[in-house]
């Protein structure tokens, strides 16, 4: 079997909490067998996606079956337009962790490649979903289209489900005002630095996940040691200073972060630098999650290091106020940190 085939599959990964991560086409493992799957791209797992997920959980409970997601990697838009990087809200590992934290029993990740793109809508449902994966139900959003040429529609899934004896549910759009909640809206908010509006649409505060890497150690010399992360090249978050929370080793800490090019010093490649309040542990090489709670100001170039330090003190004071005012309301950080499937 070709490695480019959508049937090329490693073994499923079972998480200690019972969450199954299935890459490729294969029978679903025990504990996730005959799952009712919410089907889609689910970038962001926002409130609109949560409506679809909630219906999958309701249907699964009624049928006495597990519930999960079926998604694609890379995002189909990235496959069809490789020269136009898509700002991913939830890259694959974070999507899996969020799905687990939301109470789902697993995630099926299908490789979106030439073979899958060329699969007819009919074969996608009957051969892949029903015969190979053995799913027990399908839930989709009202606008989900699939298969070669996007010929598959909600109406087609409903008709085939009835013929194959597979329950199908189609969920109406969740609207914010006149417009459906969408990943594109949320990306637009983050491009403008409006992390609070993004959180409202997501239903939780947007967060990123990555490994802490060595930087130039300049922050420590200034009295503000930072945990440095290199975000994806597609990240279009507005450059600036943010009130944040950082989770490492299962513990959540308050802090302030700079995302940008450090114009006062080197104007280099974008980097996320997080100063964690009242914290001095060594976190190099560790995976951390950073949740964005408020935008403080845009990135700026300072005439002197002394002027920068004065502003950093002010940023810290403002971040502490923002974080104290927000509390833990929309935060999923602790749950995501605890539920981090092997990837």
Give the pLDDT band of residue 330 (cuts 50, 70, 90): confident
228 vs 340, residue with greater confidence: 228
**Predicted TM-score (pTM) of this structure:** 0.91
- Output the pLDDT for position 1: 24
Query: What is the dotted CATH code of the domain comprising 13-176?
Result: 3.40.50.620
- Output the pLDDT for position 57: 98
Please say if the pLDDT value at position 14 is more than 60. Answer: no
22 vs 9, residue with greater confidence: 22
- 106-110, 172-176, 298-302, 327-331: lowest mean pLDDT where? 327-331
pLDDT in tens, 229-283: 999 999 999 999 999 999 999 899 999 999 999 888 888 899 999 999 999 888 9
- Segment (H or E) for 13: strand 13-14
CA dist., res. 109 & res. 69, Å (int): 8
CA dist., res. 67 & res. 114, Å (int): 28
Please say if the pLDDT value at position 4 is more than 70. Answer: no
Length of the chain: 343
- Output the pLDDT for position 13: 59
pLDDT in tens, 28-60: 999 999 999 999 999 999 999 999 999 999 999
Please say if the pLDDT value at position 105 is more than 80. Answer: yes
Could you tell me which residues come within 8 angstroms of residue 326 by beta carbon, excluding any fewer than 6 positions away? 293, 294
Q: Identify the CATH class of 195-338.
A: mainly beta
- Portion of the chain with pLDDT greater than 70, in percent: 94
Distances (CA, A) of 129 to 23, 57, 138: 13, 18, 9
pLDDT in tens, 71-96: 999 999 999 999 988 999 999 999 99
- Based on C-alpha coordinates, what's the Rg of the chain? 22
Give the pLDDT mean for 158-177.
Answer: 95
- Output the pLDDT for position 6: 40
Is residue 125 classed as helix, strand or coil in its secondary structure? helix
Secondary structure of the chain: what % helix, strand, coil (to 5)?
35, 25, 45
Is residue 95 within 8 A of residue 75, CB to CB? The reply is no
Mean pLDDT score of the chain:
91
All structural domains of the chain with their residue ranges: 13-176, 195-338
The DSSP symbol for 223 reads T
- Output the pLDDT for position 267: 80
- Output the pLDDT for position 254: 97
Give the pLDDT mean for 189-207.
Answer: 97
CA dist., res. 312 & res. 318, Å (int): 10
Residue at token pair 């978050």: 237
């Amino acid at each position: 079997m070709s490695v480019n085939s959508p049937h090329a599959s490693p073994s499923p990964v079972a998480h200690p909490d019972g969450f199954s991560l299935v890459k490729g086409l294969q029978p679903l493992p025990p504990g996730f067998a005959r799952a009712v799957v919410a089907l889609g791209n689910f970038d962001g797992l926002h409130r609109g996606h949560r409506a679809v997920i909630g219906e999958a959980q309701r249907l699964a409970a009624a049928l006495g079956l597990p519930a999960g997601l079926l998604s694609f990697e890379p995002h189909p838009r990235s496959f069809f337009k490789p020269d136009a990087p898509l700002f991913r809200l939830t890259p694959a590992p974070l999507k899996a962790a969020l799905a687990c934290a939301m109470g789902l029993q697993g995630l099926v990740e299908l490789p979106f490649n030439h073979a899958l793109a060329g699969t007819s809508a009919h074969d996608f449902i009957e051969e892949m979903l029903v015969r190979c994966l053995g799913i027990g139900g399908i839930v989709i959003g009202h606008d989900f289209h699939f298969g070669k040429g996007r010929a598959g529609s909600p109406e087609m899934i409903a008709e085939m489900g009835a013929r194959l004896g597979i329950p199908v549910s189609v969920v109406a759009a969740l609207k914010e005002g006149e417009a459906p909640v969408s990943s594109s809206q949320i990306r637009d908010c983050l491009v403008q630095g409006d992390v609070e509006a993004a959180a409202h649409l997501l239903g939780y505060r947007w967060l990123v996940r990555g490994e802490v890497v060595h930087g130039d150690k300049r922050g420590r010399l200034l009295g503000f040691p930072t945990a440095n992360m290199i975000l994806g090249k597609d990240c279009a978050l507005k450059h600036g200073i943010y009130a944040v929370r950082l989770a490492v080793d299962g513990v959540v800490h308050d802090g302030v972060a700079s995302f940008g090019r450090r114009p006062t010093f080197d104007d280099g490649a974008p980097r996320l630098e997080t100063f964690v309040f009242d914290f001095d542990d060594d976190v190099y090489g560790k995976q951390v999650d950073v949740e964005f709670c408020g935008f403080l100001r845009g990135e700026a170039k300072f005439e002197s290091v002394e002027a920068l330090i004065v502003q950093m003190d002010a940023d810290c004071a403002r971040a502490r106020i923002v974080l104290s005012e927000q509390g833990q309301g929309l935060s999923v950080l602790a749950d995501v940190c605890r539920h981090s499937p092997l990837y």
